[in-house]
Amino acid sequence: MVNKVKELITGWLQMKKYNFLNLAILISYMSLSSCEDMNQAQFQHAYTDVANESSPDARQAMDELTRGGRTLPSGRELTEAVSNPGNCDSCNALRNPVVATSNQPNYYPTSLKNYPIPSAGCIPVSSVSEAEASALIRSQGLTTQNATSSERRTLGATIKRVQELNGGPLRMGMGPGGNYAFNFKNSNGSWQGGDAIHIGRGSHDHGNSVAQHAHEWAHLIGNQGGYAMFKRYMGGSGGYSRSDHCLVSGYADNVTSSGRIEGEQFAEVFAAFVTQPSLLLNNTQTPGNCRKVYNFFKDHFFARGSRVRSCQ
């Protein structure tokens, strides 16, 4: 038995390599109190061995969890320890089960915010509490004005998914000036301005659409470095043009009021990657460009972009 526990803890200690199955087994193992049979000397031996083989970060995390190797963490403690957006790959898979893609649309006639799958996003809004949403919004230097509780949680779920993909707060998505708000209103029309991001609820309840928030936030991200990075990658040495566009939606080919050809494109494909990445993988309008966009966000833009696979 001690070898089994040792094997499981070793797997967990390889912070970037541990797999979900080992973690699940370890949690259920301890939840069932199966470890009561293992005596302290056996555990100390196993702990010392695996700790010596691990990185300083993993060793420190394990020390905190086991109080210097004296006790095994409870299942709950272990779950909490690996639930930080910046430190957890396998728990994302647990929370965001992979969904079938075969029946999902691969193109939308108008903007993503008008359709149920991208509006729901990858993380259930119902799983984000008001307190968690507040912490997430704050972590990006943002505030809200006139938002309902569910609108704040929807924005929280949007930020949470982006931070999962990035391994923490997104620098380009920080609100400028220290008091930059998502401002909710009942009229039609949404835009990102110098003063705030304005979200028009309109008649389609866009205040509760993850895709809506991802799209408008993407304009801020674009203006703070994202557009330039995107154009460099997509355009290559030949420069960026509309022939590089990925048409996830009819709106993805629009030009912004300021004349940017990459503006609505970036906002729509960013929203696709964050809320319904299969749109990029299964696209039939411009499949090569959409695959390139997918790789941009997965390998280049987000520090932990490969986590996109937890929502396909």
Q: Which spans of this chain sit near Zn ion (rule: CB under 5 A)?
A: 264, 267
Provide, rounded to whole angstroms, the least separation between the CB of residue 257 and Zn ion.
9
Provide, rounded to whole angstroms, the least separation between the CB of residue 189 and Zn ion.
10
Q: Which is nearer to Zn ion, 232 or 260 (CB)?
A: 260
Provide, rounded to whole angstroms, the least separation between the CB of residue 149 and Zn ion.
26
Which amino acid type is present at position 1? M
Q: Which is nearer to Zn ion, 27 or 214 (CB)?
A: 214
Q: Which is nearer to Zn ion, 85 or 263 (CB)?
A: 263
Q: Which is nearer to Zn ion, 23 or 252 (CB)?
A: 252
Provide, rounded to whole angstroms, the least separation between the CB of residue 142 and Zn ion.
17
Q: What share of the chain is helix, strand, coil (3-state, %, to 5)?
A: 60, 5, 35
172, 178 contact by CB (below 8 A): no
Taking the C-alpha atoms of residue 70 and residue 176, their distance in angstroms, rounded to an integer, is: 46
Q: Which is nearer to Zn ion, 23 or 267 (CB)?
A: 267
Q: Which is nearer to Zn ion, 113 or 298 (CB)?
A: 113
Provide, rounded to whole angstroms, the least separation between the CB of residue 265 and Zn ion.
10
List the helix and strand counts (H, then E) for the chain: 14, 4
Provide, rounded to whole angstroms, the least separation between the CB of residue 148 and Zn ion.
22
Identify the three-state secondary structure at position 22.
helix
Give the CB-nearest residue to Zn ion. Answer: 267
Provide, rounded to whole angstroms, the least separation between the CB of residue 270 and Zn ion.
10
- Count CB-CB contacts under 10 A for residue 190: 25
- Burial (CB < 10 A; 0-12, 13-18, 19+), residue 142, is buried
Q: Which is nearer to Zn ion, 153 or 219 (CB)?
A: 219
Residue (of 99, 92, 155) closest to 278 by Cα position: 99
- The partner residues of 199 in beta bridges, in order of sequence, read 184
Which amino acid type is present at position 43? F
* Long-range CB pairs of 190-193, under 8 A, 24+ apart, other chains included: 190/113, 190/215, 190/216, 191/216, 191/219, 192/216, 192/217, 192/219, 192/220, 192/223
